[in-house]
Amino acid sequence: MTTILTVPPSLDDGSFETLLQAVAAVPDDARVMLDARHTRWSSPYGLINLLTLAQARGDRPQFIPPEDSDTVSYWARAGFFRHAETLMEFTRPVPTKAKTGDSNFFLEITPIAQTEDVQHVVAHIQDRSKAIMETLGFPARGSVGFSVVLSESCQNIIEHAGGPGWVAVQTYNWQKRLGRRVVVIAVSDSGVGFKTSLGQTYSRGATDRWDDAAALEAAVLRATSRFRDPGRGQGLAGIRKYMGKWEAKLTVRSGTARIAIVPAWDDDKALVEQLAPFAGAQYQIIIPQAVQS
Amino acid sequence: MLTPMPLDLRMALARTECDLYSNLVTRATGRAVRRQLESMLREMQGHRLAVLDFTHVGVLDFSCADEIVAQLLLRFGAGLPAHAPAPSSPSYFMFRGLAEAHLEALEPVLEGHGLALVAEAEDGSMTLVGTVDADERAAWQLVLASGGGDVAAIASFSVEARLDLHARLEALARRRLVIQTSAGFHPLRHH
């Protein structure tokens, strides 16, 4: 029996949770069909997490592509169908071989499985990172920082996930929400997640709780690493430093919890628990255009 | 005075088969580059002053900063506690071409380990980067101003009496921020 799961018309980190709630109600061995017929828009977070969802299910879920031709074209240029082809069964033909590249995508959907992938991503984005920073109204010298944040985000997949992941970088106009342009970095994997990764070595008292939220707090707020070396765990701490500098928002979701470094322009909760379970870890970094004084 | 040995980061990168990249990113890359640098260092005899030039490095991330710089300093004795015996053939490191973006990655890494390093600017001026307290910095500047020598010679450049200068200079030498020889304490100068 196949369970049909409706992909929201507008797919972002918030509406993706609705999809995950529906997924959570489906037994692991049941076949699922992701119905994206009425989906008109997706953030990079939404797109790469559809891939992660398919990876996590592991049973090649069926996928009904969007009906809107512009949406199909855009997803093709983002590289979505090219990668989804290996993970899902399409119910109708889609342009899987379409040329990728769109001015809004600074980095199309890119798989991350090994160190070389991170080096390629950084080399690829380096030429564009000055344009990214200029788009946001930051000095071009900040472009190196952007590459560092991207590198460290991707490395978390290799260091902690125990499996392959995805990254995408996109810019769009957040006119309604913020009245400014934003650049979004989305990173996701279907690996073991922070609770398992840190739980292997993280020492805690007998009365301390150890769940997804505690693991996220340890990794994101206290720069705890599964390695004892004091030099480890600094990637996320470093990312946080840049979040403050750019007034950017960082969210990290793992298991059933999500932690956020919330800038002044947003009113999101710093910690959300009891979410629908999801494999691995998902990062989203939203860097808004600088406010010119 | 020591003869400085330039350690070419690009050569080390090339030897690690990462020569496509002038970026020092990822822990694995950092580890491979550091091993190449260690191999180059082993070819140098006696006291060694190695110059690591970052001029052509584009992106340096936290992981590489830790694997290359911090681990190199630690492995060659810069983080040894006061009571630990010094290595028989100590190595000293000077860092050149460090841009603001490199320092953004380096400083938190050095602070995480309680380390410091000597950076040389294009004009030849030198600064300390990392974890250094005010007394250490003052003592280091005296060594720099005096050009080095015995404790009395160095102390003569101070306007205030520093009874514990010798201990401070020894601590700086232990941290590889000045060179200690039988003639006294010397800056990590290469010319």
Q: Give the CATH number of the domain where residue B148 resides.
A: 1.10.10
Contact status, residue B77 vs residue B112, Cβ threshold 8 Å:
no
Tell me whether residues B23 and A119 touch, CB distance under 8 A: yes
User: Do A111 and A105 form a contact (C-beta atoms < 8 A)?
Assistant: no
Instruction: List strands edge to edge, sheet with A105-112.
Output: A105-112, A165-174, A180-189, A278-288, A249-255, A257-261, A271-272
Answer whether residue A57 is part of any domain: yes
Query: Is residue A160 very low, low, confident or very high in pLDDT (cuts 50, 70, 90)?
Result: confident
Dihedrals phi, psi of B72, to nearest 5 degrees: -65, -45
Are A165 and A270 within one domain?
Answer: yes
For residues B114 and B155, membership in a common domain is answered with no
Of all residues in chain A, the percent with pLDDT exceeding 70 is 92
Confidence of residue A217 (pLDDT cuts 50, 70, 90): very high
Any domain includes A197: yes
CA distance A221 to chain B (A): 15
Written as one string, the DSSP assignment of B32-73 is HHHHHHHHHHHTS-SSEEEEEE-TT---B-HHHIIIIIIHHH
Round the CA-based radius of gyration of chain A to a whole number and report it. 18
DSSP state letters, chain A:
-EEEEEPPSEESHHHHHHHHHHHHTS-TTSEEEEE-TT--EE-HHHHHHHHHHHHHH-S--EEE--S-HHHHHHHHHTTHHHHHTTT-EESS---TTPPP--TTEEEEEEEE-SHHHHHHHHHHHHHHHHHHHHHTT--GGGHHHHHHHHHHHHHHIIIIISS-EEEEEEEEEETTTTSEEEEEEEEEE-S-HHHHHHHTT----TTS--SHHHHHIIIIIS---SS-STTTTHHHHHHHHHHHHHT-EEEEEEETEEEEE--TT----SEE-SPPPEEEEEEEEEEEPPPP-
Q: Are residues B27 and B107 in the same domain?
A: yes
Amino acid at B23: N
Interchain contact, A144 vs B59, CB within 8 Å: yes
Q: Output the pLDDT for position A158.
A: 85
Among the candidates A45, A65, A92, a domain finishes at A92
Under an 8 A CB cutoff, do A115 and B59 touch? no
Helices assigned H by DSSP within chain B: 9-15, 27-42, 62-64, 71-75, 100-113, 134-146, 151-155, 165-174
- In DSSP terms, which residues pair with A118 in a beta bridge? none
Is A188 in the same domain as A268? yes
Q: Give chain A's mean pLDDT.
A: 89
What's phi and psi for A254, nearest 5 deg?
A: -155, 130
Please count the structural domains in chain A. Answer: 2
> Tokens 């997640």 label which residue?
A193
pLDDT at B82: 57
- pLDDT over 90, % of chain A: 62
B17 and B90 together in one domain: yes
CA B92 to chain A, closest CA, distance in angstroms equals 21
Q: What angle do CA A84, A123, A141 make, to 5 degrees?
A: 125
For residue B169, give its domain range.
132-191
- pLDDT tens-place string over residues A69-106: 999 999 999 999 999 999 999 999 988 877 766 667 78
Domain count, chain B: 2
The pLDDT score that the predictor gives to residue B50 is: 85
**Residue of higher predicted confidence among A291 and B46:** A291
Distance CA B151, CA B165 (A): 7
Mean pLDDT, residues A124-135: 84
CATH number reported for the structural domain that contains residue A285 in this entry:
3.30.565.10
Q: In chain B, which residues have their Cβ closer than 8 Å to the Cβ of A139?
A: none
Q: Is the residue at A111 inside a domain?
A: yes
CB pairs under 8 A between A and B: 87
Instruction: Find the closest chain A residue to B58 by CA distance.
Output: A144
Helix (H, G, I), strand (E, B) or coil at B157: coil
Nearest to B130 by CA among B109, B145, B147: B109
HSE (side-chain half, CA atoms, 13 Å) at B113: 29
Same domain, yes or no, for A55 and A163?
no
Instruction: Clarify whether residues B177 and B162 are in a common domain.
Output: yes
Q: What is the pLDDT of residue B22?
A: 81
Neighbouring C-beta atoms of residue A203, cutoff 10 Å:
6
The predicted model gives A150-162 an average pLDDT of 86
Full domain range(s) for residue A147? 105-293
CATH number of residue B4's parent domain? 3.30.750
Looking at the structure, do residues B127 and B137 belong to the same domain, yes or no? no
Residue of B nearest to A118 (CA): B26
Claim to verify: residue A223 and residue A255 sit in the same structural domain: yes
Instruction: Give A235's contacts in chain B (Cβ within 8 Å).
Output: 61-63
Statement to judge: residues A83 and A115 lie in one domain: no
**A163 and A273: one domain?**
yes
Residue A99 lies in a domain: no
Residue A287 and residue A220 share a domain: yes
pLDDT band at A5 (very low <50, low <70, confident <90, very high): very high
> What is the pLDDT, as a whole number, of residue B6?
63
Task: Tell me the CATH number at A72.
Answer: 3.30.750.24
- Alpha-carbon radius of gyration of chain B: 16
**pLDDT at res. B80:** 63
> Is residue A206 very low, low, confident or very high in pLDDT (cuts 50, 70, 90)?
low
Q: What was the pLDDT predicted at A74?
A: 93
Q: Within this chain, do residues B102 and B156 fall inside the same structural domain, yes or no?
A: no
Average pLDDT over residues A12-19: 97
Please tell me whether residues A19 and A71 are part of one structural domain. Answer: yes
Interface test with A, best of B13, B26, B71 (most A CBs within 10 A): B26
Q: Mean pLDDT for each 10-residue chunk of chain B (191 residues)?
A: 59 50 86 88 75 89 94 81 60 90 93 92 93 93 94 87 83 91 85 46
Please judge whether A141 and B101 are an interchain contact, meaning their C-beta atoms are less than 8 angstroms apart. Answer: yes
Are the C-beta atoms of A218 and A224 separated by less than 8 Å? yes
